[in-house]
Amino acid sequence: MPTSLSPPASVMTPVHLGEATHCPYCALQCGMYVSGGSGREAGGTLTVTPRHDIPANGGGLCQKGWTAAELLTSGVRLTTPLARASRTAPLSPVSWEEALDRVAGAVLALQAEHGRDAVAVFGGGGLTNEKAYQLGKFARVALRTSQIDYNGRFCMSSAAAATNRAFGMDRGLPFPITDIAEADVVMMAGGNVAETMPPFLRHLRDTLIVVDPRQTRTAKQAALHLKVTPGTDLALALGLLHIAITEGYADQDYIAARTTGFDAVRESVAAWWPERVERITGVPVASMRQAVHLLGTARKAMILTGRGAEQHSKGVDTVTAFINLALALGLPGRAGSGYGCITGQGNGQGGREHGQKADQLPGYRRIDDPAARAHVAAVWGVDPGELPGPGRSAYELLDALGTGGGPRGLLVFGSNPVVSAPRAAHVTERLAALDLLVVSDFVLSETAAMADVVLPTTQWAEEHGTMTNLEGRVLLRRQAITPPPEVRSDLAILAGLAARLGREEGFSDDPRTVFDELRRASAGGVADYAGITYERIARETGVFWPAPSEDHPGTPRPFLDRFPTPDGRARFVPVDHRPVAEDVDDDYPFYLTTGRVLAHYQSGAQTRRVRALNEAAPEPYVELHADLAERLGVVSGDMVVVTSRRGSARAAARVTRAIRHDTVFMPFHWEGVNRLTNPALDPTSRMPEFKVCAVRVERSDEGPSGRDGADPRATTAPRADRGRNT
């Protein structure tokens, strides 16, 4: 499938631009217009046209964006609530009144018997700011449960923790994305933007250094590719910092004026001489020195990290090590230079700012901070003592479902953990053990197919709402078409449930009303939206937070003058390399790493139902080096089985020389690969170690089988059967 940003042949040339909105997929939140009067009918035609006024994409779209509207008129979307008459009955259509009554009744019964925390909530990084905010409020005010977290814990949590402790603020890119084009050198550690967000490439105009075990589409465009052993990014960053200090590239004036803690870090990296790092990482000393020379002599330089560096049981320390390197070179807080994190999910930034995380309240406030609790409780009209404390992180929450001390019921909004969670077969077993599983979604995902009640929800072009993209710019999604009559927004669903749980007031189904309340709740917090209005976003094509008042200009570059720490300085933090949680051995001699492909997004629940995208990438595969393939007697297209200590997955081999000899790669958009991944957690961020585990690879004598499991679009099997079969 081409990476071209021009439309595929199947996309119509529009006569009218239509309603200005944004793409439903990644954190670029590319601007687009959606038009088409027949879009309300199944099979009707909607037209997508890129906007030129949004700097992130500036008139470009990837194939996912060009085809984004197809699902809105597709027959595979959910258009009526579904429920089971009994645990062994299939899902069948029911009225909204019956569906919401059943959910509320079951919630009240479970909490009466087992306590408030018997019911949990699991959200998503693709929800609008309004939905994320109201979901957090619903959990703490209507359910009064501490058990809420979201799939963003699997995405940005390590970078968030690292940037908070280094800079005093977590904002993916603390500068406009257009600043990247000013950099002479960009190092990208663990990011593959050519496939995950192709319009990002327009901002990479000069020398690119890529850290990745694979020669990805992005690495192929790099001047220097550091082909690191999976799980050793931290050691590499320590080695690069050692070189920067010992060979005179450290900016001593910047370090003295704008940072603290350098001496401790300098001592801590003294033992990470280049030859030692080469033995651990596999990256040649000459390549390390070249990378530091490029960064250290550039007029302007940037270091960016992505999931490849972050999704580890030491992800926070890995990001910290790259931040330490950036600080030593004097990059953060200088226009055209800096450190940034490439946020993945559509609202990965805003989704973690307003209350979906187990330990946070709106405005990026800590839930265990008495002042934060008092402020938010006043906005919500409740006593601070009524608010629960912090709950379990995402994987820990999923792992506890249906156990003696864990939740007995779960409400899922905008997530598909059957596919996306680590140790996915175990998570599926935990979901099957619940007394109540409720899923609000657009399609019958693998998780929705297991539910007791499924609630069909509106999507991006059918509703208003705000999103905060990877650069901290708050954007406005506008409604372009009318949703089907029996589909409701998540805001309406939460309002309906809250009323049935005794909270008739305080839960609006109007996004503007909810956003205005969010503004008040976030006021004075790190992520302060108080000065951001729908009208202002429309007028200015987005507003950078923090914006504490309507006459405040917004903050595109928050670190230029000082860092938001008590003394205004960035903090060096000493860290040390440690092995991966599960290293290779004789029984499992290869590393498995996972990632995305150009045609699909996240768990694939939406993109796998788009004809053009599914044709481009119809099934998972196992990428392995030609030498390994020869040893196994495998050629491209042969079926292979990849097995870890948690399970097996079967897919076609894709033989290449673009990957390390000791590593295999599988994309995670299909059910199967996350049966293998390791749920070992980072001690600070609670991020699972998605990016590396030990596996064995064997040739399969069975013929091609396509994707593992049944087609989730057609699944209405009894829930008990689904639990056993997945």
Q: State the average pLDDT over residues 391-415.
A: 97
- Closest by Cα among 97, 70, 95, 69 to 82: 95
DSSP labels, 380-430: HTS-GGGS------HHHHHHHTTSTTS-SEEEEES--HHHHSSSHHHHHHH
At 713, is the pLDDT very low, low, confident or very high (cuts 50, 70, 90)?
very low
Place of tokens 């709106």: 362
CB-count burial class (<10 Å; 0-12, 13-18, 19+) for 303: buried
Taking each helix axis from N to C terminus, what angle separates 157-167 and 315-328, rounded to the nearest 10 degrees?
Answer: 40
Partnered with residue 488 across adjacent β-strands are 457
At 651, is the pLDDT very low, low, confident or very high (cuts 50, 70, 90)?
very high
- Closest by Cα among 726, 724, 527 to 88: 724
What pLDDT score was predicted for residue 119?
A: 98
Q: Could you tell me the strand order of the sheet in which 543-544 lies?
A: 465-468, 473-477, 543-544
Report yes or no: 169 and 412 within 8 Å, Cβ to Cβ: no
Q: Worst-scoring range by mean pLDDT, 37-41, 175-179, 189-193, 487-491?
A: 37-41
pLDDT at residue 88 greater than cutoff 70: yes
- Closest by Cα among 32, 43, 38, 51 to 71: 43
pLDDT at residue 603 greater than cutoff 50: yes
Q: Which two tokens stand for residue 620?
A: 């998972």
Strands 693-699 and 639-643: antiparallel
Structure confidence by residue, pLDDT tens digits, 572-584? 999 999 999 999 9
Mean pLDDT computed over every residue of the chain: 92
pLDDT at residue 403 greater than cutoff 90: yes
CA distance 614 to 597: 12
Report which DSSP code applies to 138: I
Distance of CA 34 to the CA centre of its chain: 25
Q: State the average pLDDT over residues 92-113.
A: 98
CA distance 595 to 658: 15
CATH of domain 19-73: 2.20.25.90
Start-end of CATH 3.40.50.740 domains in the chain? 82-154+347-544
CA distance 417 to 260: 41
pLDDT at residue 42 greater than cutoff 50: no
Q: State the average pLDDT over residues 633-638.
A: 96
What pLDDT score was predicted for residue 78?
A: 95
Q: φ and ψ at 112, to 5 degrees?
A: -65, -35
- Closest by Cα among 632, 464, 475 to 539: 475
- Closest by Cα among 347, 649, 683, 709 to 518: 347
Strand, helix or coil at 294? helix
Strand, helix or coil at 509? coil
Q: Which two tokens stand for residue 247?
A: 């060979």
pLDDT at residue 209 greater than cutoff 90: yes
pLDDT at residue 69 greater than cutoff 80: yes
At 346, is the pLDDT very low, low, confident or very high (cuts 50, 70, 90)?
confident
CATH of domain 590-725: 2.40.40.20
Helices (H), 53-186: 63-66, 96-114, 129-137, 157-167
Distance of CA 578 to the CA centre of its chain: 25
CATH of 82-154+347-544, one of 3.90.550.10, 3.40.50.740, 3.40.1110.10, 3.40.50.2300: 3.40.50.740
Strand, helix or coil at 104? helix
Start-end of CATH 3.40.228.10 domains in the chain? 157-342
Percent of the chain at pLDDT above 90? 89
At 208, is the pLDDT very low, low, confident or very high (cuts 50, 70, 90)?
very high
Strand, helix or coil at 132? helix
Start-end of CATH 2.40.40.20 domains in the chain? 590-725
Structure confidence by residue, pLDDT tens digits, 270-299? 999 999 999 999 999 999 999 999 999 999
What are the angstrom distances between the C-alpha of 383 and each of 141, 180, 559, 664?
Answer: 10, 46, 36, 53
Structure confidence by residue, pLDDT tens digits, 447-472? 999 999 999 999 999 999 999 999 99
What pLDDT score was predicted for residue 87?
A: 83
Q: Which two tokens stand for residue 21?
A: 């909105």
- Closest by Cα among 393, 554, 359 to 468: 554
| CATH class of residue range 157-342 | alpha beta
Start-end of CATH 2.20.25.90 domains in the chain? 19-73
pLDDT at residue 38 greater than cutoff 50: no
Q: Which amino acid is at 688?
A: P
Structure confidence by residue, pLDDT tens digits, 125-157? 999 999 999 999 999 999 999 999 999 999 889
Of the two residues 423 and 703, the one the predictor is more confident about is 423
CA distance 421 to 438: 17
Own/partner pairs, 628-636, CB within 8 angstroms, 24+ separation = 628/590, 628/661, 628/664, 628/697, 629/653, 629/655, 632/697, 632/698, 632/699, 633/699, 634/699
What pLDDT score was predicted for residue 704?
A: 54
CA distance 400 to 262: 41
Q: State the average pLDDT over residues 52-65.
A: 95
What are the angstrom distances between the C-alpha of 604 and each of 275, 410, 439, 446, 617?
Answer: 42, 22, 17, 10, 11
pLDDT at residue 720 greater than cutoff 70: no
Percent of the chain at pLDDT above 70? 93
Place of tokens 């030990």: 694
- Closest by Cα among 417, 385, 413, 383 to 398: 417
pTM score of the predicted model: 0.93
Q: φ and ψ at 275, to 5 degrees?
A: -65, -35
At 257, is the pLDDT very low, low, confident or very high (cuts 50, 70, 90)?
very high
Across 475-496, b (16+ Cβ under 10 Å) vs e yields bbbbbbbebbeebbbbbbbbbb
pLDDT at residue 1 greater than cutoff 60: no
CA distance 37 to 368: 50
Of the two residues 352 and 588, the one the predictor is more confident about is 588
At 344, is the pLDDT very low, low, confident or very high (cuts 50, 70, 90)?
confident
Report which DSSP code applies to 8: P
